[in-house]
A and B are shown apart, each in its own frame.
Chain A
Amino acid sequence: MTPKEIIRLEHLGLRYSDDRFIFFDITCSINAGEFYFLTGKSGAGKTSLLKILYKDIQPTLGFVHVFGYSIGELSRSDLPVFRQHIGLIFQDCRLIPTLSIVDNVALSIHIGGSQYRRSCSYAKELLDWVGLGDCLNSLPDALSDGQKQRVAIARAVVKRPALLLADEPTGNLDNENAFRLMALFQELHKMGTTVVLATHNNELVKGFQYPQLILKDGSLFVNDNGFIKKKA
């Protein structure tokens, strides 16, 4: 793993309880500061790949290195600090239903050791930016799916992570809002964050000049300016 590499996958394979491999023998690396779209048909394994990266599941085969750490060897006590450096946006948002949206966002930095009040003021600022300034104290259940997604994005972005793993962050948003939030990711990317963004939205992919990782038939390809080749 070179110093520039932030993610390195070696002969990665994943199989759930059945015999079928979701993906097999993926070897590739992503450098610090890069921005990738992750695409593929539904069920291709995008979410599963991201889950392996933040160590929610273990791969069946191969090795994963993130931030220079071999994920398999990462102990349970090291895991929280490792995850504090990753911004996660889940496909199903996963907001805490008993917390207001401002607290949901503040929680993300409070966990990292920031004071509650300061966390709240950052959270408010960001929620204002994503257009949720007037429902700061609403509970997630009172929001539309699109609004929830914006909260989830704010929660991942507010801690300025070194790596952002976003799983369909704009899945429930109209294109106008999706493009507006892409600006947020771009801003974060300019500040040095590495971004991997799984999406189905082709317009979004085409609207930005970022390379595309494609999960297809259990392998990972890269589409860089129209050239599709196996990612290494």
Chain B
Amino acid sequence: MYSFFRRTIPVGSVQNSRSLSLIFSVLIFLLSFVATCVFLFSQGFHKWERGNSYKVTVEIPVDLQSINNQEQITNKVMQELNSMPEVLKIQRVDPEKLKAMLTLWAGDKGISNTDLHVPVLLDVEFNSSNQIDIENIKQKLRQISMDINIENHNTWAQKLVVFGKSLKLVTMVIGSFILLCTIIIVILVTKSALQAYYSTLDILRLLGAKNAYIARIFQNQILKSSFYGGICGVCLSIPTVYAFVIVLKYLGLEGLTWSTMLWHITIVVIGVPIIVAFIGVLVSRITVHVHLRLLDKKTSI
């Protein structure tokens, strides 16, 4: 049936029947890649946004007069924090780890383990369902000691999230642009075939072909081209997209478990050609109908 329609009015390049499939495969490949990016960015940054919004680090500086004093303050602070309903978890950063970090820039010899006093750092995690008033907490803790400081990760995380969102937006714009290109290509290919095979079109209509029948000739071929293009596009995009995902996973920008993510991405990669085929068929159908209506108006029969 396809070949019968194709021989009646060949849509796409007359010399090279595969060129339309080739265009489709490139567009589908690009769209799959972009769609995966949008998906990953939204997942990754969503996690960052969620993950960092509810964490702060409380810093109790070194008290040079008395090391015991620092311990007392730390205990008081932990008590105070524990009494707050919004606090979920408090974890003291291991002083050995801190020292190890300092060794990195001060050098082994610069630091004698016994006499080095490091600030106490407490990682505090809040219950995400409550509204957290960092300023209020700071006020309360400073009643214990004026030197206590709160490092709010939210500020820089928020910036990162804004960056992520704009990245996602840019990717979506690029995706829409590729989709627009697909639509334009389908319109151009359909229109040029309608014009090049004007006399065939005329014969078809004299034989009693309805507009829907003529539209089917085009839809059928666009569907076939997008099918072949889709297969090539998927074959190209699967290794690329998966490699990309592995890189992102390595960079720690994933928001889901490994298997769920692969599953989601497979759906995206397979869904894109289906959507492109559907849009292509729809656009060619509309183009044919509009063209034939305009023709009717011109001939006024």
Contacts and interface: CB of A to CB of B under 8 A. Distances in A.
A194 interface: no
B109 interface: no
Contact of A76 (B1, B9, B206, B296): B296
B195 to A, nearest CB: 15
Interface in A40-80: 54-58, 76-77, 79-80
Given A98-B8, A99-B7, A80 B1 contact: no
Given A103-B8, A107-B207, 14 more contacts: A58-B301, A79-B205, A80-B205, A80-B208, A80-B210, A80-B213, A81-B208, A81-B210, A83-B208, A96-B204, A98-B9, A98-B10, A111-B207, A155-B207
A208 interface: no
Contacts of B10: 98
Contacts of B200: 96-98
A126 to B, nearest CB: 15
Contacts of A103: 4, 7-8
B207 A88 contact: yes
Chain A at the B interface: SS class:
loop
B208 A84 contact: yes
A38 to B, nearest CB: 18
Interface in B7-37: 7-10
Interface in A159-199: none
B207 to A, nearest CB: 5
Contact of A54 (B203, B206, B211, B300): B206
A116 B206 contact: no
B132 interface: no
B4 A111 contact: no
B204 A111 contact: yes
Interface string A95-113: 1111110010001101110
A90 B207 CA distance: 11
A70 B205 CA distance: 19
Contacts of B267: none
A56 B301 contact: yes
Contacts of A229: none
A94 interface: yes
Interface of B: 1, 4, 7-10, 197, 199-200, 203-211, 213, 296, 300-301
Given A80-B209, A80-B210, A96 B8 contact: yes
A201 B207 CA distance: 26
A144 to B, nearest CB: 20
A100 B4 CA distance: 10
Given A58-B301, A76-B301, A98-B10, A112 B4 contact: no
18 contacts: A58-B300, A77-B210, A79-B301, A80-B211, A84-B207, A88-B206, A88-B207, A98-B197, A98-B200, A99-B8, A100-B7, A107-B8, A110-B4, A111-B204, A111-B208, A111-B209, A112-B208, A116-B4
Contacts of A96: 8, 200, 203-204
Nearest to B213: A111
A141 B9 CA distance: 16
B120 to A, nearest CB: 83
Contacts of B7: 98-100, 103
A112 B263 CA distance: 46
Contacts of A82: 208
Contacts of B208: 79-86, 111-112
Contacts of A57: 301
Given A111-B208, A111-B213, A94 B203 contact: yes
Contacts of B8: 96, 98-99, 103, 107
A106 B243 CA distance: 51
Contacts of A55: 301
A98 B200 CA distance: 9
Nearest to B204: A111
B125 to A, nearest CB: 68
Contacts of B209: 80, 111
Nearest to A51: B206
A157 to B, nearest CB: 13
Contacts of B4: 99, 103, 110, 116
Nearest to A56: B206
B150 to A, nearest CB: 74
Nearest to A86: B208
Nearest to B14: A98
A62 to B, nearest CB: 16
